[in-house]
Amino acid sequence: MIHEIVDSPQYGPETDALRKLLADQPDHPGLDPYQALLLDREELPDPAVAGERDPRVAVEDLAVELPGRTLQARLYRPSPRPRPVLLWLHGGGFVGGDLRDIEFATSGIAAAGNVTVISLNYRLAPENPCPAGLHDVSDTLAWIRANVDGDGRIAVGGQSAGGALAAGACQLARDAGAPLPDRQILCYPVLDLHPAADWHEWYFGARDIPAGAVPLQAATLAGLPPTLMLAAGRDWLRDDALAYAGRLEQDGVPTRLVEYADTMHAFLNFPAALSAGRHAVELIAADLRAAFG
Is residue 32, in this structure, part of any structural domain at all? Answer: no
Is residue 28, in this structure, part of any structural domain at all? Answer: no
Is residue 52, in this structure, part of any structural domain at all? Answer: yes
Q: Which residues contact 113 (CB under 8 A, 6 or more apart)?
A: 78, 86, 284, 285, 286, 287, 288, 289
Q: Which residues contact 40 (CB under 8 A, 6 or more apart)?
A: 28, 96
Is residue 36, in this structure, part of any structural domain at all? Answer: no
What's the CATH code of the domain at 211?
3.40.50.1820
Name the residue range of residue 176's domain: 3-23+44-292
- pLDDT tens column, 196-220: 999 999 999 887 899 999 999 999 9
- pLDDT tens column, 96-118: 999 999 999 999 999 999 999 99
> Is residue 139 flagged as an active site residue?
no
- What is the spatial order of strands in the sheet that 183-187 belongs to? 3-6, 255-264, 227-234, 183-187, 154-159, 85-89, 116-121, 69-77, 58-66
Is residue 154, in this structure, part of any structural domain at all? Answer: yes
Task: Pick the catalytic residue from 107, 119, 138, 160.
Answer: 160
Is residue 153, in this structure, part of any structural domain at all? Answer: yes
Per DSSP, what are the bridge partners of residue 229?
Answer: 186, 257
H-type helices in the chain, by residue range? Answer: 11-24, 33-42, 47-50, 103-113, 132-147, 161-176, 200-203, 238-250, 275-292
CA–CA separation, 263 and 223 (whole Å): 31
| pLDDT range class, residue 279, cuts 50, 70, 90 | very high
Report whether 225 contacts 169 (CB < 8 A): no
CA–CA separation, 188 and 281 (whole Å): 14
- pLDDT tens column, 127-149: 999 999 999 999 999 999 999 99
- pLDDT tens column, 12-48: 999 999 999 999 888 888 888 999 999 999 999 999 9
> Is residue 235 flagged as an active site residue?
yes
pLDDT at 274 over 90: yes
Task: Pick the catalytic residue from 90, 135, 265, 279.
Answer: 265
Q: Which residues contact 36 (CB under 8 A, 6 or more apart)?
A: 27, 28
Per DSSP, what are the bridge partners of residue 136?
Answer: none
User: 57: closest CA among 31, 28, 86?
Assistant: 86
CA–CA separation, 283 and 267 (whole Å): 14
Is residue 165, in this structure, part of any structural domain at all? Answer: yes
The number of folded domains in the chain is 1
Is residue 238, in this structure, part of any structural domain at all? Answer: yes
In SS3 terms, 270-284 reads as CCCCCHHHHHHHHHH
pLDDT value of position 239: 97
> Is residue 107 flagged as an active site residue?
no
Does the global pTM surpass 0.95?
yes
Report whether 117 contacts 103 (CB < 8 A): no
Task: Pick the catalytic residue from 136, 139, 235, 262.
Answer: 235
Distance of CA 11 to the CA centre of its chain: 21
